[in-house]
Structure formats: C-alpha cells, structure tokens
C-alpha cells in the first residue's frame, strides 16, 4: 500500500493536474476521428456499389419493336368489314328521316401504284317515321315500320397521301340499291304511309377511307360517304326523287401482303 501511494504521489508531482483533462480530450478526439473514418469508408463502399449497379443497368440492352416497320402499300388485295350507319328518307315527302344501322363489306383489287377497283356490299336496317294514317288492323296508325336498304356498287379507288402510320383513300362507286319499304305495312300499299314501294334503284357512293395502320396486315378504317339514290313512286304524282344522304362506317381492314400489286421488286418498299 505504501508503494502504491508513493507511485500516485510521484505521478501527481511529475505531471501537473491539468494534464489529465487534456489526455481525456485527446482520447475523445481520437475516438471521434476513428468513427468518422469508418462512416466514410462505409459511404464510399455504398457509393461504389450504387455506381456499379447503375453501370450494369445502363449496359443492359433494350429491344425496341416497331409494329409498323413492315407496313407497305404494295399488296394486291384487301378486305374490310365495318359497322355501318346510314341516314335516308323512306318516302319523297316524309318529314322524318330514318337512321339505319348495319354492315359494310368492301374489297379492293389494286392494279397500279395508286389505282384500284373497289366493290362494296352494304346492308342497312331500321325503322322510319310514317305519314299520318289509320291503316292498322285495329283502326289505329301504323307507327315506326321496318325499312331496309341493300346496296351493291363498284368503282375506282385512288391512294392519296400515305406513310407507315396511315393513308387517305378516295373512291366513287356506282351500282344499285334494293329498298324494302313495305315489310311492316300489313299488306297495305306504300302510299298509306307515304313510303316508296319496294324496288331496285340506281345508287352512287362517293367518299373514301381514313386508314390508321395497326400492323403489317391490320388497319383501323373510318369511311365517310355521301350516298345518292333515285327512288320512284307508283302512285300519283308518279314522281322520282333524287336523295343524297350521309353514311359512315367504322371497322377493320386486312391486307393480303403476300400477293404484290407490282411485278417489279424495287417497288416493294414503304411509301411506294
């Protein structure tokens, strides 16, 4: 014990009392510096790993697929099937028009770079307003009788501005229409409701297509048209009426790309 107290006394006499707080401060600074160095080392390792991951991500190849890359305008044949709408009047003096719905089937055979022959087969059905009458079996009026039109026409078609995204196409087709106006008249003549009688009549369809390419073969198609018909009545005053009405159809076209419209392979390119 005496030796221990002697050592403490010697240290106290050898070093000033303020030396011990200084020693503690130095030890604290050394510990803090070590902690910071360890944190910096960990941060540097994390940053290096993140950079490595980013480089790996950047080096991963992305495959870009263009569904329109093979779009061409060199096919010989195409077909389209569309939901159709037609506005018409079932009689020469009716105030009410008829809004008919149906199907529009079209086919084209391309002959040259820009020209084709197009044919259409259209069916429109619906109901129409009728003139005042009391022709029903119970003495009441016939209301909203069924009417239908069946068109067949063909004519030239021309390819307008076009690229891989879409095209504008114009056409004029002439042919005929069968109008069925007496289906719901209970055997009464068409005159009782102011309708045309059932008949075949000439027709002309003028308009075109707005095409939006979806792939090499498939095209979304919108086809607005003006439809001219020339129906007549077989009762006084025995007139013939020229009607021009609006029609539109929306649907899909399919291109048969294996059969080309040109025998020259240098023409088989986009935009041809």
Q: What is the pLDDT of residues 32-49, one digit of tens each?
A: 555 555 555 555 555 555
> Do the domain assignments include residue 68?
no
Instruction: Tell me the per-residue pLDDT of 203-244, one tens digit each, with 9 for 90 and over.
Output: 999 999 999 999 999 999 999 999 999 999 999 999 999 999
Q: Give the closest residue to 165 by CA, choosing from 107, 109, 222, 219.
A: 219
- Which segment of 56-65, 68-77, 245-254 scores lowest on mean pLDDT? 56-65
Q: 183: Cβ–Cβ under 8 A, 6 or more apart, which residues?
A: 145, 146, 147, 148
* pLDDT score for 8: 45
The answer on 234 and 152 residing in a single domain is yes
Instruction: Tell me the per-residue pLDDT of 133-169, one tens digit each, with 9 for 90 and over.
Output: 988 878 789 989 999 999 999 999 999 999 999 999 9
> Do the domain assignments include residue 66?
no
Beta pairing class for 98-110 and 115-127: antiparallel
> Do the domain assignments include residue 6?
yes
Which of 31, 59, 87 is the C-terminal boundary of a domain? 59
CATH code of the domain covering residue 188: 2.40.160.20
The answer on 189 and 138 residing in a single domain is yes
> Do the domain assignments include residue 69?
no
The answer on 249 and 128 residing in a single domain is yes
The answer on 169 and 45 residing in a single domain is no
Phi, psi dihedrals of residue 237, rounded to the nearest 5°: -90, 20
The answer on 157 and 208 residing in a single domain is yes
Instruction: Tell me the per-residue pLDDT of 223-232, one tens digit each, with 9 for 90 and over.
Output: 999 999 999 9
| Tokens describing residue 4 | 């221990």
Q: Is the pLDDT of residue 84 over 50?
A: yes
In the chain, the number of structural domains is 2
The answer on 107 and 10 residing in a single domain is no
The answer on 227 and 173 residing in a single domain is yes
Enclosing domain of residue 193: 75-262
Q: Give the closest residue to 151 by CA, choosing from 233, 88, 220.
A: 88
The answer on 82 and 131 residing in a single domain is yes
């Amino acid at each position: 014990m005496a030796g221990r107290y002697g050592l403490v006394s010697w240290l106290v006499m050898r070093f000033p009392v303020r030396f011990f707080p200084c020693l503690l401060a130095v030890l604290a600074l050394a510990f803090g510096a070590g902690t910071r160095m360890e944190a910096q080392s960990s941060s540097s390792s994390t940053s290096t790993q993140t950079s490595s991951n980013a480089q790996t991500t950047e080096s991963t190849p992305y495959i870009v697929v263009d569904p329109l890359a093979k779009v061409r305008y060199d096919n010989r044949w195409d077909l389209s099937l569309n939901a159709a709408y037609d506005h018409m009047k079932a009689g020469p003096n009716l105030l009410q028009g008829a809004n008919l719905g149906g199907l529009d089937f079209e086919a084209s055979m391309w002959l040259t770079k820009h020209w084709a022959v197009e044919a259409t087969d259209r069916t429109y059905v619906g109901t129409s307003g009728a003139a005042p009458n009391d022709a029903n079996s119970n003495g009441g009026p016939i209301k909203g009788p069924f009417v239908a039109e069946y068109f067949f026409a063909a004519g030239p078609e021309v390819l307008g501005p076009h690229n891989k995204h879409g095209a504008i196409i114009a056409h004029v087709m002439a042919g005929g229409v069968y109008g069925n106006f007496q289906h719901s008249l209970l055997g009464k003549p068409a005159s009782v409701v102011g309708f045309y009688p059932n008949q075949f009549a000439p027709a002309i369809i003028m308009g075109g297509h707005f095409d939006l390419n979806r792939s090499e073969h498939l095209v979304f198609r919108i086809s607005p048209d003006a439809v001219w018909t020339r129906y007549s009545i077989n009762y006084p005053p025995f007139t013939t009426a020229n009607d021009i009405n609006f029609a539109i159809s929306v649907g899909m076209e399919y291109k048969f790309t294996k059969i080309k419209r040109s025998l020259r392979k240098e023409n088989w390119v986009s935009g041809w």
